[in-house]
Amino acid sequence: MLRLLVVLLGFGILASHANAGPAAAAVTGISSLTHAVLDAAGARDDIVKVQSGTGNSGSTGGSADDRSKHRVVIFTDDKDRVRSTLSAIKRLGYHKDSYVTDKPNEDWNIKWGAADTGKVDEVLGVIKKELGIGSSRIKRSHEFKADDNDIFVNLRFAKSSKTGGSGRSKHRVVIFTDDKDRVQSTLSAIKRLGYHKDSYITDEPNKDWNIKWGAAGKKQVDEILGVIKKELGIGSSRIKRSHEFEADDNDIFVNLRFAKTSASGRAKHEVVIFTNDKDQVRSLLAAIKRLGYSKDSHIADKPNDDWNIKWGAAKAKTVDEILQVIDTEMGIPPSRVRKSHEFEANDNDIFVNLKF
């Protein structure tokens, strides 16, 4: 009640200022004494919000422009695992003071007050992309006050390893390869999902691409193949499955020999991405190079006005593969990129134009 009386008193003071000059001075013209009174009751922010039109009107719409008012706090027992998630959330424009802390709840959940469902869905989308945790596995709880902008996320990984049904932490994933740099991000992504911390990369891979396991379930095998597809662009149908280890053997072996893929002709194709936003396409170029395309592939400026891909000697499946990488990395479906087979038949270059 005292807070309400003080707020009403504040409005009276604001009105007297408004009568003396332009409406814009109503907020900035509050005297020091008035500020002190309002601060004492914690009501000054309420008045400023109403005067500036930023108070909660009960709308659940919201826009991409108001992310910055929402501070996202991730409570977890594995801070290293969620750092990339926090970074991705901040890149979207959420409050710069968003942070990671410890002492999470027992269950996976997200809690909020003022945020609209679009923001909640967006944060859950980042969690799915960075950690592989689907939104259906995270309990939603709209329990904070309507004027509370904070969004709390609880991610206790110790629980998911023991009772979450996935059992990832007991499985050590070993990647055998002749190109350790190329698969480094794949191993990191696998570890972020909660697989054994001693998972590692080594050399001397088999001649064919394969995945071998014993105690692991189909769910774990499919999940790892999904990571390989996302990070390296290698579809699961191209990797031979072999359930050949003992039933109590928790190791999962992945063999990826890239020297073999040179026969597919990728290495001879230099991919050039013409764009007006080089930072936006760096991950795209990296993904293309990881597939084995020419090490001289690069980004250039002065793109065409439309989105297109141009080639000469490359085969249709090569063009489709690059379009698929563009879809995965940039969210641009192949149907939106015009195809143009216009170069000479002996020209191995592939040009991609992406003007943003």
Instruction: Give the pLDDT confidence of 177-191 residue by residue, as tens digits.
Output: 988 999 999 999 999
Closest CA to 201 of 227, 179, 169: 179
Q: pTM of the full predicted structure? A: 0.35
Predicted confidence at residue 264, as pLDDT, reads 56
Predicted confidence at residue 19, as pLDDT, reads 38
Distance of CA 246 to the CA centre of its chain: 36
For the stretch 81-125, pLDDT in tens is 899 999 999 999 999 999 999 989 878 899 999 999 999 999 999
- For residues 297 and 270, the answer to whether their CB atoms sit within 8 Å is yes
**For the chain, what is the HEC assignment?**
CHHHHHHHHHHHHHHHHHHHCCCCHHHHCCCHHHHHHHHHCCCHHHHHHHHHCCCCCCCCCCCHHHHHHCCEEEEECCHHHHHHHHHHHHHCCCCCCCEEECCCCCCCEEEECCCCHHHHHHHHHHHHHHHCCCHHHCEEECCCCCCCCCEEEEECHHHHHHCCCCCHHHCCEEEEECCHHHHHHHHHHHHHCCCCCCCEEECCCCCCCEEEECCCCHHHHHHHHHHHHHHHCCCHHHCEEECCCCCCCCCEEEEECCCHHHHHCHHHCCEEEEECCHHHHHHHHHHHHHCCCCCCCEEECCCCCCCEEEECCCCHHHHHHHHHHHHHHHCCCHHHCEEECCCCCCCCCEEEEECC
Q: Residue 2 CB: number of other CB atoms within 10 A?
A: 9
Cα 209 to Cα 176: distance, rounded to the nearest angstrom: 10
Which residues of the chain fall short of a pLDDT of 70? Answer: 1-65, 159-166, 260-264
Q: In the Cβ-directed half-sphere of 299, how many Cα atoms lie within 13 Å? A: 16
